Amino acid sequence: MQPISSVKGKAYPLGLKNVDTDIIIPAAWLKTISRSGLGKGAFQTLRSLPGNVFDDPAYAGAPILIAGDNFGCGSSREHAAWAMADLGISAVIAPSFSDIFSGNAFKNGLLAIVLPQDAIDRLMEVAKTDDIHIDLETQTVTTPFQDRFAFEIDPFRKHCLINGVDEIGLTLKSSDAISAYENKLSASQPWLSPNQA
Amino acid sequence: MSAPQTLYEKIWNAHVVEQREDGTCLIFIDRHLVHEVTSPQAFEGLRVAGRRVRRPDLTLAVPDHNLPTTARLDANGNNIPIADPESAQQLEALERNAPEFGIAYIDATDVKQGIVHVVGPEQGFSLPGTTIVCGDSHTACHGGLGALAFGIGTSEVEHVLATQTLQLSQSKSMEVRVEGELGPGVSAKDVVLHITGVLGASGGTGHVIEYTGSVIRALSIEGRLTISNMAIEHGARAGLVAPDDVTFAYLKGRPMAPKGNQWDAAVAYWRSLATDAGAVYDKVVHINAADIAPSVTWGTSPEDVLPITGVVPDPSSFADPSKQTAAQKSLDYMGLTPGTLMTDISVENIFIGSCTNSRIEDLRAAAAVLKGRKKADNVKWAIVVPGSGLVKQMAEAEGLDRIFMEAGLEWREPGCSACLGMNPDKVPAGERCASTSNRNFVGRQGPGARTHLVSPAMAAAAAVTGRLTDVRALMD
């Protein structure tokens, strides 16, 4: 994972609630065995509509997306995070995210920033004309108009994002603890080693 | 003496390998189900980093999403190749990756093949008190057996393959208590649709939900799996039902379930997992069974639920302005007018299947409605897709396949099928489908497809009349 500590730039003012993973990337795009190239299918259904924010030149290349409640609900497909990253999006700001999507976003260095609806409403206005700045170190979202919104983030995730931590490598350092757990488990619950059918 | 604990807390605490200062825990994973869609990039990641699978014995691979549901073997018993080159490539990748990393693989032509969430419980691979993951959001399903089961993304699939653990923060706990007695024609699917309508699509976000109460206790394992399956549709990380005698009777003798003395020890442990008296949930929601009718969705979010006796809502009737906008968009997509009786909506397609409703009990419920009846002429496409080869075999032994075919429905091979249309089973643009699956998202069953989520009995009733129908009108 590449380290990420801030994102600054234009933002797509999408604002929709319940943006599900089928909207972010339809199932037809899941047949790939690679992580790249999914930006072409990102938000395909929305992009088929005239006047959509993604094809509005005012927001071309925006690194931020602003959405409504429950962003990324639905499937566990990490293709959703890959597709958004491939489209050039580095951060999403919404009042809430589905648990699985926010995990997938984190694994790919895509910031999933939670702010209350009134902050979202304000940022939707600002995004029409000006840049938005997300700073992970200070956990704030700011605008050129002195708006300053603080957000919460899990400290472990913050650490991994800022330092670009390879999480599997990190966990593998705990191999001895995992082995000890496995030994304890095979003694207390021997049935957990399944009888392969 | 330790403080009273919930079922969720007991399973969580039993799986902590390490706890960090910030509260994040390294959680051991007992069971990992792998399918062809969300795993290729994970195996590739292992290969690139030169990593192996830590516990192949705790991992089981089954293809399900891409498989066509038409015949898989020709008259000579040879494999029929998959026509779609991308689907074929994804299946070949799993076929190659499983043996390369030493993982047990159930082949597409094996009678044990099926949807991962049907296969796991059926084989006794999924057990109470375990942690179960899969790169699929409906992994919550296995919570019906009292397992802490949840969907993960591909990076986490790779993490579990490499370490048999996940770095997780504990979720909040919620109790959804359903008390009373279900009326005629009301099934587990109606219960979970109703719960989703009450909680909303994000009502469970950040929580693990334990479903309790007399209604849940009275359900079969098939019914409990249906409920827990859709925990994700109200946003929950996982669903849980406390294991009890119904659970143990279901699991006993299954191929991968414990045997002999180990069985007795396992049951004793599983009994100890029930939530202690006095344990506190972060949130509690009460549902009265008498309020639950045969249910149906009208919109493009699973929270858009109505009793079948209802009418298409007016977007202005919602208090939340963002819901008003969403409802209008949903009605435009669904081609519906406010005030229309749900039972006046005609359907051209019927899908009975998916990890939510493709088990034997689901097929029996649909067949009971279809027996001696024919599908309506305006129903152009109606398929029944059993959840596994073993479900199919059992249904055929009971003669259910003949009931479906005599009614004019197609009897197919197992897989995920038209739930998400990654295989050739899709609903045409602009047409409606009464579907026993779990999501009515825009384009879910095919571009432009209009989905109404219902129970198996309700889907069968819609097949008979050619419109959304109150199944109670067709019951004796």
Interface mutation target, options B37, B271, B303, B354, chain A, most CBs of A under 10 Å = B37
CB contacts, 8 Å: A154 with chain B: 22, 24, 169
Dihedral (CA of A60, A62, A68, A73) sign: positive
Residue B58 falls within a domain, yes or no? Answer: yes
Least Cα separation, residue B398 to chain A (angstroms): 25
Whole-angstrom CA distances from A1 to A105, A136, B8, B333, B407 are 11, 16, 32, 38, 55
CB contacts, 8 Å: A97 with chain B: 205
Residues B441-474 pLDDT 10s: 999 999 999 999 999 999 999 999 999 999 999 9
Within chain A, what is the greatest distance between any pair of CA atoms?
65
Q: Which domain holds residue B55?
A: 7-168
For residue A197, pLDDT beyond 50: no
* A196 confidence band (pLDDT: 50, 70, 90): very low
Residue A189 falls within a domain, yes or no? Answer: no
What Rg value do the Cα atoms of chain A yield, rounded?
Answer: 19
CA-wise closest residue to A132 among A59, A46, A82: A59
The chain-wide mean pLDDT, for chain B, equals 97
Is A76 in the B-facing interface, judged by CB distances under 8 Å? yes
Which residue of chain A is at minimal alpha-carbon distance from B103?
A: A196
Residue A175 falls within a domain, yes or no? Answer: no
For residue A149, pLDDT beyond 60: yes
Q: Are strands B432-435 and B450-453 parallel, antiparallel or unpaired?
A: parallel
Q: Which domain holds residue A154?
A: 6-165
Residue B102 falls within a domain, yes or no? Answer: yes
Beta-carbon separation of B155 and A108 below 8 A: yes
Residue B329 falls within a domain, yes or no? Answer: yes
Residue B432 falls within a domain, yes or no? Answer: yes
Q: In a 3-state reduction of DSSP, which class is residue B317?
A: helix
Least Cα separation, residue B353 to chain A (angstroms): 18
Two tokens, residue B354: 């998916």
Residue A185 falls within a domain, yes or no? Answer: no
Residues B310-353 pLDDT 10s: 999 999 999 998 899 999 999 999 999 999 999 999 999 999 99
CB contacts, 8 Å: B68 with chain A: none
Residues in chain B: 476
Sheet holding B432-435, edge to edge: B410-411, B381-384, B349-352, B432-435, B450-453
CA dist B207 and B404 (Å) reads 40
Query: For position A116, what pLDDT does the model report?
Result: 98
Region class of A171: left (phi > 0), else alpha (psi between -120 and 50), else beta: alpha
For residue A195, pLDDT beyond 60: no
Least Cα separation, residue A78 to chain B (angstroms): 5
Last residue of a domain, one of B120, B137, B168: B168
Within chain B, what is the greatest distance between any pair of CA atoms?
66
Residue B190 falls within a domain, yes or no? Answer: no
Q: Could you count the other beta carbons within 10 Å of the beta carbon of residue B246? A: 17
Beta-carbon separation of A100 and B326 below 8 A: no
For the segment B3-24, the average pLDDT, to the nearest whole number, is 96
Beta-carbon separation of B269 and A189 below 8 A: yes
Residues B203-255 pLDDT 10s: 999 999 999 999 999 999 999 999 999 999 999 999 999 999 999 999 999 99
Last residue of a domain, one of B141, B168, B195: B168
Is A187 in the B-facing interface, judged by CB distances under 8 Å? no
Residues contacting B351, CB < 8 A, separation 6+: B382, B383, B385, B417, B418, B419, B425, B427, B433, B434, B435, B436, B437, B445, B459
CB contacts, 8 Å: B127 with chain A: 191-192
For the segment B69-81, the average pLDDT, to the nearest whole number, is 95
**In the 8-state DSSP scheme, what is residue B344?**
G
Query: For position A159, what pLDDT does the model report?
Result: 94
Domain count, chain B: 2
Query: For position B1, what pLDDT does the model report?
Result: 59
Last residue of a domain, one of B140, B168, B196: B168
CA dist B204 and A131 (Å) reads 33
CB contacts, 8 Å: A192 with chain B: 30, 58, 127, 130
Whole-angstrom CA distances from B186 to A163, A175, B181, B454, B460 are 53, 49, 10, 11, 14
Two tokens, residue A23: 């909207």
First to last CA, chain B: 55
For the segment A8-17, the average pLDDT, to the nearest whole number, is 96
For the segment B81-99, the average pLDDT, to the nearest whole number, is 96
Is A23 in the B-facing interface, judged by CB distances under 8 Å? yes
Residue B272 falls within a domain, yes or no? Answer: no
Domain count, chain A: 1
Residue A191 falls within a domain, yes or no? Answer: no
Least Cα separation, residue A179 to chain B (angstroms): 9
What proportion of chain B, given as a percentage, has pLDDT over 70? 100
Torsions phi, psi for B439 (to 5 deg): -135, 135
Residue B372 falls within a domain, yes or no? Answer: yes
CA-wise closest residue to B442 among A56, A16, A100, A12: A16
Dihedral (CA of B454, B460, B461, B465) sign: positive
CATH of the domain at A158: 3.20.19.10
Q: Which of residues 38-67 of A touch B (CB under 8 A)?
A: 45
CATH of the domain at B364: 3.30.499.10
Is the interface score ipTM higher than 0.90? yes
Q: Could you count the other beta carbons within 10 Å of the beta carbon of residue A116? A: 11
For residue A96, pLDDT beyond 60: yes
Residues contacting B461, CB < 8 A, separation 6+: B369, B469, B470, B471, B473, B474
Is A122 in the B-facing interface, judged by CB distances under 8 Å? no
CA dist B102 and B85 (Å) reads 26
Residue B30 falls within a domain, yes or no? Answer: yes
Query: For position A1, what pLDDT does the model report?
Result: 82
Residue A194 falls within a domain, yes or no? Answer: no
